[in-house]
Chains A and B, each alone.
Chain A
Amino acid sequence: MSVDKIWVLAEVADGAPITTSLELISHARSLGGTVEAVAYGDGTAAMAPTVGEYGATTVHDVGDLAGALPGAPVAAAIAALVAAGNGPDVILFPATYDGRDIAARLSVKIDRPVLTNVVGLTEGDGGLVSQHAIFGGSQILSARFTGEGPHIFVVRAKSFAAEPTGGAAAAVVAAPAPDTGATNAAKIVARHVEERIGPKLDEADVVVSGGRGLGEKEQYALIEELATLLHGAAGASRAIVDAGWVPYSHQVGQTGKTVKPTVYMACGISGATQHMVGMKNSKNIVAINKDQDAPIFSVADLGIVGDVHKVLPKLIEALKARG
């Protein structure tokens, strides 16, 4: 199978395609052939110029979902196009909540396996070869499908660069979902958006993250203050998200955000493999931990073996003094 046609799920947030979708469209373009997007929601027409600029020629528009979770209807719309003989060779999904759900439902509908947690995609004999970071990113595993397409890959954020090519706006073609019956019965009845100050976690140039080593919830204020002084974003390990100290939107790692800032500061974080996959590719890593054997030190450019309650207040005072 050669890869002539690639589809990418163009997920929308705040009225624009998410960065991971643009990364996937950009990379799909470099793999050759035609790149098309699949989108849903009421803002598809508005985003056609952007996905076109990154290289997609067409947007298959599932349309408004009337409050339904996207998994069932969007998968059904894609499966209908595949059944009609208009399917692609490869479908790329961003590894988001909705992307994962749609890919999972689609895999059953068209009876194709899925490769998830993809961090690289290259051309191989008769199809694509995917790369996966395993054991906390210490090894890279390559895999490929042996059966017929469409081949479904779910790709992690920041695996590729998003690069506009100056393409024309993509043509929008309606691709309504067929009736999905009971599978479509889960409805969103209300949305809650948590307040955020400063840059977005996955876009910030500096990320300061705190972990269980902070000792108690109130101490997270040190992380927030330091992040603000460095014009960065405040992150967290899953341990303190689960403990309810900070909202989930702060979580860095396998189930949280992937970040690649200029500087990542891990404060009181041990460096579990699931945390490392989300931050290991930061350009520079600073770790503060009182245990000199903490795994986080193995990836740190600068490691301070010390107590966060001593180091952080001094650091904050010194930065304040600089004004």
Chain B
Amino acid sequence: MNVVVCVKQIPDPAAPGALDPGTKNLVREGKLILDDSDAYGVEMALQLADAAGGGDVTLVSMAPNGETSGLRTALAMGAAKAILVSDDSLAGTDALGTAKVLAAAIRRAEPDLILAATESTDGYTGTTPVQIAELLGLPSVTFAKKVEISGASVKVERQTETGYDEVESPLPAVVTVTAGVVEPRYPSFKGIMAAKSKPVDVLTVADLGVDAGQVGAAGARQEITDVAEAEARSAGDIVVDEGEGYQRVIEFLEQLKVL
């Protein structure tokens, strides 16, 4: 079974985020890393391919400056190869444009299953994977907390407001996974060494046959008009518990007439 995993490479979320004062886009300079949210998809793909008795796990990513650091991490986990779309014309691309590019790249891999995260850490629109499904004419199941392959279909436990639904879909399909789905493995030393020589196919928008007008800031057809400080919440009383801290909570609740 061949699985494609969409993996986003993002600035380290531990570093404080910033907007470019000119374009107001998120600053994506310097080294990018594998979005932690996508580590779950990579792990899930490896486990499903394994359970199906073999097949390739192919990574697909769109990132600036030919960035491959995040891809190498996922390759070190065990993915076989990667397709990277990198092209200066992609700066400012929105979710729909990203989906158009990724869908075109995914077509090349002819997968049985496409995995992505429910949402990325830096963009968190959560729409890209379903847009990919629609572009490819495939069914999609979002918010999977459990994924199993059974013959030519995929069985998913999909989170709902009140519990979960059991959903079945024929393959190929797009499935988005939550962080609870599996525990991602740490790349082994052997994996890290092997990843260095795994193939990464670097493509441009033109290589994929995607019309340049569909991507970049022009394709996004939206603009940021303003960025302002939110009304700050002033910090209140901070007290160190010396055994009577609970009493302060009770007084506060009384004051609010909750008690």
Asked if B245 contacts A101 (CB within 8 A), the reply is: no
- Cβ-based interface call for B190 (8 A): no
Is B9 part of the contact surface with A, judged by Cβ < 8 Å? no
Question: In the complex, what residues of A have CB within 8 A of residue B224's CB?
Answer: 141-143
Could you give, for residues 19-45 of chain A, a 1 whenever the CB lies within 8 Å of some chain B CB and a 0 otherwise?
A: 000000000000000000000000000
- Complex Cα gap A140–B221 (Å): 20
Interface presence of A91 (CB below 8 A): no
Task: Check A113/B241 contact, CB under 8 A, given A194-B163, A248-B145, A314-B246.
Answer: no
CB distance from A99 to the nearest CB of B (A): 10
Q: How large is the interface on B (under 10, 10 to 19, 20 to 34, 35 or more residues)?
A: 35 or more
Contact with A along B224-249 (1 / 0, CB 8 A): 11111110110111111101011111
Tell me if B58 is interfacial: C-beta within 8 Å of chain A: no
Q: Which residues of chain B are within 8 angstroms of A154 by Cβ–Cβ distance?
A: 127
Q: A72-B139, A142-B224 are in contact. Are A100 and B236 (CB under 8 A)?
A: no
**CB of A115 within 8 Å of the partner chain:** yes
Do the beta carbons of B241 and A310 come within 8 Å of each other?
A: yes
Chain A binding surface SS class? mixed
| Chain B positions within 8 Å of A299 at CB level | 233, 235
Is residue A50 contacting chain B, with contact meaning CB distance below 8 A?
Answer: no
* Residue from A104, A117, A302, A307 in contact with B252 in the complex, judged by beta carbons closer than 8 Å: A302
A13–B240 CA distance with the chains assembled, in angstroms: 44
> B142 touching A230 by the CB < 8 A rule?
no
Q: Which of B97, B138, B160, B232 contacts A191 (CB 8 A)?
A: B160
Q: Which residues of chain B in 112-163 are interfacial with respect to chain A, using CB atoms and an 8 Å cutoff?
A: 118-119, 124-131, 133-135, 137-143, 145, 158-163
Interface 1/0s, chain A 247-288, versus B by CB < 8 A? 111000011000000110100000000000000100011101
What distance in Å separates the Cβ of B249 from its nearest Cβ neighbour in chain A?
A: 6
* B225–A185 CB distance below 8 A: no
Is A182's CB under 8 angstroms from B139's CB?
Answer: yes
B248 near A192: Cβ-Cβ < 8 Å: no
User: B222, A230: Cβ atoms under 8 Å?
Assistant: no
Asked if A262 and B256 make an inter-chain contact with CB atoms under 8 angstroms apart, the answer reads yes
Contact B249 A142 (CB under 8 A): no
Which B residue sits closest to A244, measured CB to CB? B180
Within the assembled complex, what's the spacing in Å between the Cα atoms of A254 and B134? Answer: 25
What distance in Å separates the Cβ of A70 from its nearest Cβ neighbour in chain B? Answer: 11
* Interface pair B134/A109, CB less than 8 Å apart: yes
Evaluate whether A304 and B249 lie within 8 angstroms (CB atoms) in the complex, with A100-B142, A188-B165 already known: yes
With A183-B138, A186-B167 in contact, do A280 and B233 touch (Cβ < 8 Å)? yes
Binds A, one of B45-53, B168-176, B193-201: B168-176
Interface size on A, residues (CB 8 A): 94
Residues of A within 8 A of B253 (CB): 230, 263
| B179 to A: closest C-beta gap in Å | 5
> Which one of A55-63, A131-139, A168-176, A210-218 is at the B interface?
A131-139
- B interface: dominant SS: mixed
Decide: B237 and A302 in contact? CB cutoff 8 A. yes
Give the contacts of B22-68 with A (CB-CB under 8 A). Answer: 24
B160 contacts A262, C-beta separation under 8 Å: no
Q: Which residue of the partner chain, among B95, B173, B240, contacts A186 with CB atoms under 8 Å?
A: B173
Chain B residues whose C-beta falls within 8 Å of the C-beta of A147 in the assembled complex: 221-222
Task: From A1-9, A82-90, A159-167, A315-323, give the one contacting chain B.
Answer: A315-323
CB–CB B167/A142 < 8 A: no
Residue in chain A with minimal CB distance to B247: A318
- Of B137, B140, B143, B223, which contacts A143 at CB under 8 A? B223
Residue pair A113, B95 in contact (C-beta under 8 Å): yes
Residues of chain B within 8 A of A133, CB atoms compared? 230
Q: Is A69 an interface residue (CB 8 A)?
A: yes
**Cβ contact within 8 Å between B139 and A185:** yes
Q: At the interface, yes or no: A81 with Cβ under 8 Å from chain B?
A: no
Report the nearest B residue to A109, measured CB to CB.
Answer: B134
Residues of A within 8 A of B124 (CB): 116-117, 254
- Determine the chain A residues whose CB is within 8 A of the CB of B170 once the complex forms: 182, 185
Is B4 an interface position by the 8 A CB rule? no
Asked if A190 and B165 sit within 8 Å, CB to CB, the answer is yes
Whether B227 contacts A139 by the Cβ 8 Å rule is yes
Question: Is B105's CB within 8 Å of the partner chain A?
Answer: no
CB distance from B64 to the nearest CB of A (A): 20
Partner of A297, one of B127, B143, B232, B238: B238
Could you tell me the distance in whole angstroms from the C-beta of B39 to the nearest C-beta in chain A?
12
Q: Does B259 contact A (CB under 8 A)?
A: yes
Evaluate contact between B166 and A302: CB separation under 8 angstroms: no
Extra contacts, 14 of them, besides A117-B125, A183-B139, A315-B250 (Cβ < 8 A), are A107-B131, A134-B19, A138-B229, A139-B228, A145-B222, A181-B137, A185-B169, A191-B163, A192-B164, A192-B165, A248-B164, A249-B161, A285-B233, A292-B238
